[in-house]
Chains A and B, each alone.
Chain A
Amino acid sequence: MKSGWSSRAYGSVRRLARAYPSMLRVGLADMVAYRAEFLVWILSMNMPLVMMALWTAVAADGPMGRFGQREFVAYYLGMLIVRILTGSWLVWELTMEIRRGTLAIRLLRPIHPLWAFSALQLAAVPMRALVISPLIVVLYWVAGATLPMHDPERLAIVFASIAGAWLLLFLVMAIIGMLAAYVESALSVFDLWLGAQAILSGFLVPLELMPAWVARVARVLPFRYILGFPVETLIGLESDAVALRELGVQWLFVAGAFVMTLLLWRKALRRFAAFGG
């Protein structure tokens, strides 16, 4: 009985491993086809630059806490880099497909739709990396000394934290997107999430500069591990020991979100079948 299950699981993993490279190629073709949209999307990521302008103007009269002009520039460049690398449209795609019923087509295929969505996004990573490479050069020029370029262990933490941030955002979007099977206004729920994230992730204001209790609350909520934590690790605001511990917290959130996604997915699909008739 058990061996039957494991061989089935093995079969599906093998099928996925065979199909995934093709799915990545499809994703890349999709991205190239909609290159103008990609460009527009990159340009719309300008909020960190505006915040950078604001905070450097503030820091012109002297530093705020640990943050001088140089640190603010590094922080918001890091924010831009993390945002572009980890950004995702899953929640919009999922809610639209559920509402229009086109998710049914994906369900007919022998691979989990979330894998397909993830391939679409991962395929865009090389192009996104290309776009952020000049940003990295500027960041290196501004904050070279604090960057973990020569420390392999540190570099590993940075990559792991960015990967964790990507995965966490992807799963949260999957969870909220699946709500569309239950309520009309799943996107409003996501708007609420974005609102909380703007404050509690360090997106608008570095959490260190917020009142102490806000920063404390933010540490036990998932928002910070999507943006603020990878940025702080990238520009070297945290010591290795703290960064490593928080990496553990981040991946705990990822694991929790993963379990939730699996549970909700099965329940929501039953509901979705009822939706389409």
Chain B
Amino acid sequence: MNQTLHRYLRLFLVQLRTSFTLAVQYRFDFFIEGLLALLWLGITLVPLMVVFSQRSTLAGWSYPEALVVVGLFSVLKAVLDGAITPSLNHVVDGIRKGTLDFILLKPADAQFLVSTARFDPWRILDLFGSIAIVVYALRRLHHVPSVWEALAACALFSVAILLIYSLWILVVSLSFRVVKVDNLSYLFMSIFDAGRWPIHVFKGALRVLFTVVFPLALMTTYPAQALLGHLSLDHALLAGTGGLIFAGCARWIWQRSLQAYTSASS
């Protein structure tokens, strides 16, 4: 057990080194992309500023509170763009060209290998920018999270990362059947974008959709509430359990899809 863990850790470091080499090689492109993401972060703050220039609260959220949600959303997006999307785009490409076979032949867990294939280290720029927003918002609220609040927020945020990763794995599983997935990833990002707003903005069907089906509420609103100390313990536990079940289902579906995969050549 310990040996396997050690082996996977070494594999992980090798994969990481490859990505760093690539990132340095194409530094200009990656750097521009990181900068553009920062710019987008600024642009998407505009509606928030316009709303709060005329109102003091939005669906029960004040400006700095809503800013915490936006900040956590951007942290999650930076993680997604830096550590999840590049790898999974790589797999999708492999499925289309048939090169996924080479990965499947390797003597290690396929999901592990495809999920660590590529990283984009320049996204660290966005990560810092997003964390700055969260810190700024908390300072404006004069709120210093207690140890428990911080721990709960961290735990929920880990669940959020797990969730977003699971959703992506589901998208990739779908790509075994529907080939043109650049469209699917675009759809995924467009829905994910709604996560920058507190879930209470949405009413009726949209709220159910964003809580249960595409659980954006679990990804940004709940961690933000935990950080602000507005989340009750049973809600937090429920969110955590729900997230873990979701991830388990995703892993199961991925394995089923892999069994059904008959490479591009055959």
Q: For chain B, residues 178 to 218, give those with C-beta under 8 angstroms from any C-beta of chain A.
A: 178, 180, 183-184, 186-187, 190-191, 193-194, 197, 201-203, 206
13 examples of A-B residue contacts, CB within 8 angstroms: A37-B183, A40-B183, A40-B184, A41-B183, A41-B187, A44-B187, A44-B191, A50-B194, A53-B201, A58-B51, A58-B55, A185-B28, A199-B43
Q: Of the 9-residue stretches A1-9, A174-182, A204-212, A221-229, which lies at the interface with chain B?
A: A204-212
Contact of A57 among B32, B33, B58, B183 (CB under 8 A): B58
- For A54, list chain B residues within 8 Å (CB): 47, 51, 58, 197, 201
Contact B36 A191 (CB under 8 A): yes
Contact B194 A204 (CB under 8 A): no
- Taking A204-B47, A210-B50 as known contacts, 11 extra A-B pairs with beta carbons closer than 8 A to each other, sorted by chain A number, are A36-B178, A46-B191, A54-B197, A58-B58, A61-B55, A64-B54, A188-B32, A192-B36, A195-B43, A204-B46, A205-B46
Interface of A toward B, CB cutoff 8 Å: 34, 36-37, 40-41, 43-47, 49-51, 53-54, 57-58, 61, 64, 184-185, 188, 191-192, 195, 198-199, 204-205, 209-210
- For B260, list chain A residues within 8 Å (CB): none
Q: For chain B, residues 43 to 84, give those with C-beta under 8 angstroms from any C-beta of chain A.
A: 43-44, 46-47, 50-51, 54-55, 58-59
The 6 tightest CB contacts between A and B, nearest first, are A44-B187, A44-B190, A40-B183, A50-B194, A57-B201, A204-B47
Which chain B residue lies CB-closest to A204?
A: B47
- For A34, list chain B residues within 8 Å (CB): 180
Which chain A residue lies CB-closest to B35?
A: A188
CA distance A199 to B190 in the complex (A): 17
CA distance A175 to B102 in the complex (A): 40
Contact B187 A51 (CB under 8 A): no
B37 to chain A, nearest CB (A): 9
- For B58, list chain A residues within 8 Å (CB): 54, 57-58
Contact B33 A188 (CB under 8 A): yes
Is B29 located at the chain interface by the 8 A CB criterion? Answer: yes
- Convert B15-38 into 0s and 1s, putting 1 for each residue whose CB lies closer than 8 angstroms to a CB of A: 000000000000011001100100
Contact B206 A53 (CB under 8 A): yes
Contact B40 A195 (CB under 8 A): yes
CA distance A47 to B186 in the complex (A): 12
CA distance A205 to B43 in the complex (A): 11
CA distance A192 to B36 in the complex (A): 7
- For A192, list chain B residues within 8 Å (CB): 36, 39
A87 to chain B, nearest CB (A): 12
- For A58, list chain B residues within 8 Å (CB): 51, 54-55, 58
CA distance A184 to B26 in the complex (A): 11
CA distance A198 to B40 in the complex (A): 10
- For B59, list chain A residues within 8 Å (CB): 57
